[in-house]
Structure 1
Amino acid sequence: MTPLRLILPICTAAFVASTSSALAWGQLGHSVIAELAQRHLQPATQAKLKELIGDTSLAAISNWADDYKFTPEGKSTYRWHFVDIDIERSAYDVALDCKEQNNQGTCIVQGLPAAIATLKDNGRSKEDRLRALKLVVHLAGDLEQPLHASERSNDQGGNKLNVVLRAKRSDGTAYTRASTFHSMWDDSLVDLQAYSWGSYADALDGNPLPTAELPPYDEARITAWANDTHALGLKAYQLLPPGTPDHNDSGHAMEISNEYAVAIKADLDRALVKGAARLKAILDDAFGSS
């Protein structure tokens, strides 16, 4: 592991960060989770799902919520995508971690159950339930991204820490990408694993999905899942090179070596398949097929 700082042209790092920092798990990770979940849904769930989205896949709608949160209508869901639990603490504290701010909502621990409740409510309009479905598919993926449940010294889940990942793909080819630490987990580490999200999903689908916890998928359950993800967040920070600052600018990015990518590969795989298993369970329950 190389603890040296790499000085990069500011424009390069800023450009790469700006193209990816808004997407949790990026489009690749969300597509993997949604695709795996859909492959394993109960047949009755598949039928009811088709009534809402037709022949559209869950992967195709899995990133809608990232655009929606920037609209006037969706502004109140902005903070539903994360819960910033400081790594100095081992668990979520509602009083500290889930405050309403700027009319942008509270946090994922309350936002995901709210979306699930709307999806389950057959008295709501098809439009409302479709919107809720899109939120559920996305937020269930967000909940498994460790930097959506962790931060260090108010770094906003690694968004204030700039890094450059220098790693190797499985075929030995070099992979280099500058971004924030948050975006490294959102995009780079997933992108590194395969040349397409479909091939990554196929590789992960070689083993059965893990068994998800039983319903209800309420605030208590989502709290437990957030704490589970936070535990991986602690590891994500602990594996950073010695001397990594809390915050830096893109001109003084920390170099992250292939050693980091190798160390977290199994955890990354588990997070994605666990997200798929939990999303499947949520949808089977919501559509009455569990």
Structure 2
Amino acid sequence: MKSSRIALSLLSVAIAGFASPAHAWGQLGHSIIAELAQRHLSPTALANVKALIGETSLASISVWADDYKFTPAGKQTYRWHFVDIDVAHPNYDAAVDCLEKNGKGTCIVKGLPAAITMLKDKSLSKEERVLALKLVVHLAGDVDQPLHASERTADEGGNKLYVTLQAKRSDGSDYTRSSTFHSMWDDSLVDLQAYSWGGYADALDTTPLPTVDAPPYDEAKVAGWANDTHAIGIKAYQWLPPGTPVQNDKDHPVTINNDYPTSAKADLDSQLLKGAARLRAILDDALNQ
């Protein structure tokens, strides 16, 4: 419990409005995951969510943790947002992939369970549990983004590879956006699918949420989720055009055509649904009492 108490001390001050350069899954993806999870919460868990944050939606708090990690109070949660498993390796290795670095924490495999533990602890103040809820909602989405569980030759989950996505929306209109490969997965692939995140959420909600393993949602369980996501991350790199460099600069981006989002669409949908299902399961377990 000592490590959890140390983590709690980091969460004792709410930070709002702190600008960050990127959001994992972007506002759109995190909103979709949080909205679908909230729609399918048990009545008791939903009532307890409202007891913590009132009528505020889970979608509206889903990217708070991305701002928080850049603040002095949240610095030690920075590495909780990802686990960089090299695509040359099939599975997560705690001794390699989850080391504490530069006072910024370990990795999501340890961070998400720590936040869940805090959320479940009724001895904590309401403020502390609200902050834990914000972390849980965000990190449960992060663990399902393929480039938050994968990297290639120390490219930091595609953050050192620049691309230009040139694709078509479903209505045939052109879509072009230059970004890092990581940001293409965070934002562009989701943005490409619909003109509003609500519309995308409604489309996904026609499919039942996948089944999630029973609790506890501890390090072993989250490691399994990270391995599952990493398998998609391996494919995400394989879908890149032949000859794509490991790293480049923003002035020489790799052009990605419509073949890429077409190849990725089924897995993109699946990962968003898994994120919603896992978040729902976590909240039902933590707040269903």
Q: TM-score scaled to structure 2, two decimals? A: 0.93
Q: Distance in 1 between matches of 2:119 and 2:21?
A: 28
User: Secondary structure at 2:179's aligned position in 1?
Assistant: strand
Coordinate RMSD, CA, aligned:
1.0
Q: Which residue of 1 aligns with 2:260?
A: 260
Are the aligned partners of 1:84 and 1:148 in contact in 2 as well (CA < 8 Å)?
A: yes
User: Secondary structure at 1:153's aligned position in 2?
Assistant: coil
Q: How many residues align?
A: 271
How far did 1:21 drift? 5.4
Q: Which residue of 2 aligns with 1:164?
A: 164
User: Secondary structure at 2:254's aligned position in 1?
Assistant: strand
Q: Distance in 1 between matches of 2:35 and 2:245?
A: 37
Q: Distance in 1 between matches of 2:258 and 2:251?
A: 21
User: Secondary structure at 2:167's aligned position in 1?
Assistant: strand
Q: Which amino acid is 2:61 matched to?
A: I
CA deviation map 1:153-185 (0-9, x unaligned): 000000000000000000000000000000000
User: Secondary structure at 1:252's aligned position in 2?
Assistant: coil
Q: Which residue of 2 aligns with 1:9?
A: none
CA deviation map 1:34-62 (0-9, x unaligned): 00000000001111111000000000000
- 1:285 matched to 2:285? The reply is yes
How far did 1:110 drift? 0.1
Q: Which amino acid is 1:114 matched to?
A: A
CA deviation map 1:177-233 (0-9, x unaligned): 000000000000000000000000000001111111110000000000000000000
- 1:89 matched to 2:89? The reply is yes
Q: Which residue of 2 aligns with 1:197?
A: 197
Q: Which residue of 1 aligns with 2:28?
A: 28
Are the aligned partners of 1:147 and 1:182 in contact in 2 as well (CA < 8 Å)?
A: yes
Q: What is the percent sequence identity of the aligned residues?
A: 70
Q: Which residue of 2 aligns with 1:52?
A: 52
CA deviation map 1:129-163 (0-9, x unaligned): 10000000000000000000000000000000000
Are the aligned partners of 1:36 and 1:205 in contact in 2 as well (CA < 8 Å)?
A: yes
Q: Which residue of 1 aligns with 2:12?
A: none
Q: Distance in 2 between matches of 1:247 and 1:134?
A: 33
Q: Which amino acid is 1:266 matched to?
A: A
- 1:173 matched to 2:173? The reply is yes
Q: Which amino acid is 1:57 matched to?
A: S
Structure 2, unaligned stretches of length 5 or more? Answer: 1-18
User: Secondary structure at 1:165's aligned position in 2?
Assistant: strand
CA deviation map 1:68-110 (0-9, x unaligned): 0011100000000000000000000001000101110000000
How far did 1:288 drift? 2.6
Q: Distance in 2 between matches of 1:217 and 1:252?
A: 42
How far did 1:20 drift? 8.7
Higher relative contact order, chain-length normalized (CA < 8 Å, sep 6+): 1
Q: Distance in 2 between matches of 1:279 and 1:29?
A: 13
- 1:185 matched to 2:185? The reply is yes
How far did 1:122 drift? 0.5
- 1:65 matched to 2:96? The reply is no
Structure 1, unaligned stretches of length 5 or more? Answer: 1-18
User: Secondary structure at 2:251's aligned position in 1?
Assistant: helix
Q: Which residue of 1 aligns with 2:14?
A: none
Are the aligned partners of 2:20 and 2:70 in contact in 1 as well (CA < 8 Å)?
A: no
Q: Which amino acid is 1:164 matched to?
A: T
- 1:155 matched to 2:155? The reply is yes
Q: Distance in 2 between matches of 1:162 and 1:53?
A: 38
Are the aligned partners of 1:81 and 1:108 in contact in 2 as well (CA < 8 Å)?
A: yes
Are the aligned partners of 2:20 and 2:67 in contact in 1 as well (CA < 8 Å)?
A: no
Are the aligned partners of 2:42 and 2:288 in contact in 1 as well (CA < 8 Å)?
A: no
Q: Distance in 2 between matches of 1:101 and 1:90?
A: 23
Q: Which residue of 2 aligns with 1:225?
A: 225
Q: Distance in 1 between matches of 2:69 and 2:20?
A: 16
User: Secondary structure at 2:156's aligned position in 1?
Assistant: coil
Q: TM-score scaled to structure 1, two decimals? A: 0.92
